[in-house]
């Protein structure tokens, strides 16, 4: 989701809480931001959030508690094609970072979404902290008249299929609430072809795919981004394109935290533990719409013996 958010400090000590549907769990509310993507690299955990809107940044931590904001990855002024739509102002949001072939590739959304179509961009990065150089052209452009119906080119999620080795790009949401899937070309900065993908139920935006023990988990955000309806749902499949077996909600609003969504799953290589990284509204009451900053939270997740994900309780 687009939003202009400002991280207030360079190093932030995590807040702690207890939560889980299957027992006590540590929850870390780490810093102001939204739409987080996460990965582990160079002995650190990295989070890539939506923040200021005019640039994309990274945060890193050696212990998942103490966070440092790194140098800018990419500024809107570095994207030469950004003004080609004629809009007076533009925003960068919903970044995704993929490591492949010894390099890092940053995929991101460019808005506004209306009246001009949103677009996706891609930049090649020297490392998880950048610097990143934009490809020089849009990777994908949305629009009301796109093939197959209205499509907003937002919320990219790149994934390397461990079975086939194919590099896949999932994107879409909001207007039309339609998920689309593309295979990336070997250069990782262009699209080779579009692939059919089964549409999940209750899909709005913020899609994510991860694989565990041969099962593909598709998860996504449902509902209006600044209300209590916003939530994370998931489905399972034996294929990265579906068909999907819907399994329900993972994250939903409760009395203390509202509108959890636009998340990422990441596996800690040191412990083997899977984590979900997501944003939420804190200190809000009622059903919204909410304003001000969201915060990014990190929480362990659990799978049952059938591979299903236990719903997450955000508060104790």
State pLDDT tens for residues 73-98.
Answer: 999 999 999 999 999 999 999 999 99
- What's the confidence (pLDDT) of residue 99? 95
Cβ count near 193 (within 10 Å): 9
Given this model, what pLDDT does residue 176 score?
66
pLDDT tens readout for residues 222-238: 999 999 999 999 999 99
- Number of CB atoms found within 10 A of residue 289's CB: 12
CATH hierarchy code of domain 11-300: 2.115.10.20
Is the per-residue pLDDT at 276 higher than 90? yes
Residues of the chain with pLDDT > 70: what percent? 89
Q: 209, 170 in Cβ contact below 8 A?
A: yes
Read off the pLDDT of residues 2-56 as tens digits, 9 standing for 90 and up: 443 333 333 333 333 333 333 334 677 889 999 999 999 999 999 999 998 999 9
Which has the higher per-residue pLDDT, 210 or 151? 210
**Which tokens go with 287?**
């059903």
Res 157: pLDDT:
98
Rounded distance, CA 249 to CA 202, Å? 10
Q: In the chain, what are the domain boundaries?
A: 11-300
Rounded CA gap, 265 and 243, in Å?
21
């Amino acid at each position: 989701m687009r939003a202009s958010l400002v991280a207030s400090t360079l190093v932030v000590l995590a807040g702690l809480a207890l939560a889980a549907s299957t027992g006590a769990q540590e929850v870390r509310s780490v810093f102001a931001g939204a739409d987080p993507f996460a990965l582990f690299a160079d002995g650190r955990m990295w989070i890539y959030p939506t923040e200021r809107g005019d640039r994309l940044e990274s945060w890193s931590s050696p212990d998942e508690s103490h966070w440092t904001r790194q140098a800018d990855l990419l500024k809107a002024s570095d994207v030469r094609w950004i003004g080609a739509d004629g809009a007076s102002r533009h925003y960068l949001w919903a970044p995704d970072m993929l490591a492949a072939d010894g390099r890092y590739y940053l995929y991101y959304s460019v808005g506004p979404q209306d009246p001009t179509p949103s677009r996706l961009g891609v930049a090649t990065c020297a490392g998880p902290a950048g610097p990143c150089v934009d490809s020089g052209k849009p990777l994908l452009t949305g629009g009301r008249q796109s093939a197959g119906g209205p499509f907003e080119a937002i919320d990219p999620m790149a994934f390397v299929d461990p079975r086939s080795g194919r590099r896949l790009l999932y994107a879409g949401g909001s207007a039309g609430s339609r998920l689309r899937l593309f295979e990336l070309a070997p250069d990782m900065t262009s699209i080779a072809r579009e692939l059919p993908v089964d549409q999940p139920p209750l899909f709005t935006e913020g899609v994510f795919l991860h694989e565990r023990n041969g099962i593909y988990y598709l998860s996504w955000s449902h509902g209006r981004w600044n209300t209590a309806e916003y939530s994370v749902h998931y489905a399972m499949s034996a294929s990265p394109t579906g068909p999907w077996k819907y399994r329900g909600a993972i994250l939903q609003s409760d009395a203390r935290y509202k509108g959890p969504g636009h998340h990422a799953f990441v596996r800690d290589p040191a412990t083997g533990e899977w984590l979900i990284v997501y944003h939420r509204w804190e200190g809000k009451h009622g059903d919204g719409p909410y304003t001000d900053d969201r915060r990014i939270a990190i929480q362990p997740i659990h799978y049952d013996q059938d591979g299903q994900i236990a719903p997450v309780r955000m508060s104790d």
